[in-house]
Amino acid sequence: MTSSASSHSVAWIAGVGASAGLGAALGRRFARAGHTVALTGRSADRLESAAREIRAAGGQAHALVADASDEAAVARAAEQVRALGPLAAAVFNAGNAVRAPSLELTAAQFEDAWRTSALGGFVFAQAALRLLLANGAPSDASTGRGSLLFTGATASLRGRPPFGAFAAAKAALRSLSQSLAREFGPQGIHVAHVIVDGGIDGKRLRTGAPQRVEAAGPDGLLHPDAIAESYWQLHAQHRSAWTQELDLRPYKESF
């Protein structure tokens, strides 16, 4: 993180990894709209690489290393975000797609998936909501105090092997988003959950499952920048017509 703060409103994104991933794409989109972006993840090298890319394009970006499920680490990151300016948008994009048949899945793996998605989402949401509530009543009646957005998956809606742990964790995150929307929507905070129903054309999939990328063919995967545009549209919605859940998929994806 650089030492200089900005008077711009801030977009805080947790779950940022490789430049070709969704987290970095979200950072680029919110920076392009004029927000200072705070990028949070566990890899200092990847965070700083994404931040440098945004700064090279004329934006303002800061790398804040933290594990989203670590309450103390997230609290420290939140204080750094507070110093940058008023929080306008918070995005929880962390996840751990543990893959194992149910009888081979260990309790430690199951817990790790839950900690990353469900507990991490809760810890991050608490920290972000405190910052958003501190904004006070909006001056423009069409807007709220800001937005809190969660990244979901096909597994948020239905479980199947070998992703039992991932499905349980993502379903919990979805329920959390609904609870928070009902509690904080009336207080002017837009809480929304995005179901990414399909593979993302990023480094993780291209490295870990190149055969799936090949099988998907042209336009068979979701492009990170296209997904990020939908998050931006959610953030910019008029408060008289807020979306609580949005699902995104390639036009070729069955559902």
Query: Is residue 96 pLDDT above 70, yes or no?
Result: yes
Does residue 84 surpass a pLDDT of 60?
A: yes
For residue 143, what pLDDT is reported? 64
Give the strands of the sheet with 87-92, arranged side by side. 60-65, 36-41, 10-14, 87-92, 146-153, 189-196, 245-248
Distance CA 227, CA 27 (A): 12
| pLDDT at residue number 142 | 61
pLDDT value of residue 166: 96
Whole-number pLDDT of residue 20: 83
Dihedral sign, Cα of residue 148, residue 152, residue 158, residue 159: negative
pLDDT for 138 = 60
Q: Once rounded to an integer, what is the mean pLDDT over residues 227-249?
A: 97
Residue scoring higher pLDDT (220 or 228): 228
The average pLDDT across 20-40 equals 96
- Which 3 state secondary structure label does DSSP give 20? coil
Position 140 confidence tier, pLDDT thresholds 50, 70, 90? low
Residue 1 has pLDDT above 50, yes or no: no
Q: Which two tokens stand for residue 96?
A: 């751990």
Find the mean pLDDT for residues 163-187. 97
Task: Determine the average pLDDT of the residues in 121-130.
Answer: 98
Lowest mean pLDDT among 51-60, 68-77, 91-100: 91-100
Q: Which residues pair with 11 in a beta bridge?
A: 37, 89
Cβ atoms 45, 17 nearer than 8 A: no
Q: Is residue 124 a contact partner of residue 41, using CB atoms and an 8 Å limit? A: no
> Which whole number is the average pLDDT over 59-69?
97
Whether 170 contacts 95, CB under 8 Å: yes
Phi, psi of 40 (to 5 degrees): -120, 135
Query: Which stretches of the chain are assigned E, i.e. beta strand?
Result: 10-14, 36-41, 60-65, 87-92, 146-153, 189-196, 245-248
Q: Which two three-digit tokens encode residue 70?
A: 């670590």
Tokens of 11: 């977009």
Query: Residue 232: which of 53, 33, 4 has the closest Cα?
Result: 33
Examine the pLDDT at 5 and tell me if it is beyond 50.
no
Locate all alpha helices (DSSP H) within 120-238, ordered by sequence.
Answer: 120-133, 164-184, 203-208, 210-216, 224-235
**Per the confidence metrics, is the pTM higher than 0.85?**
yes
CA distance 168 to 240: 32
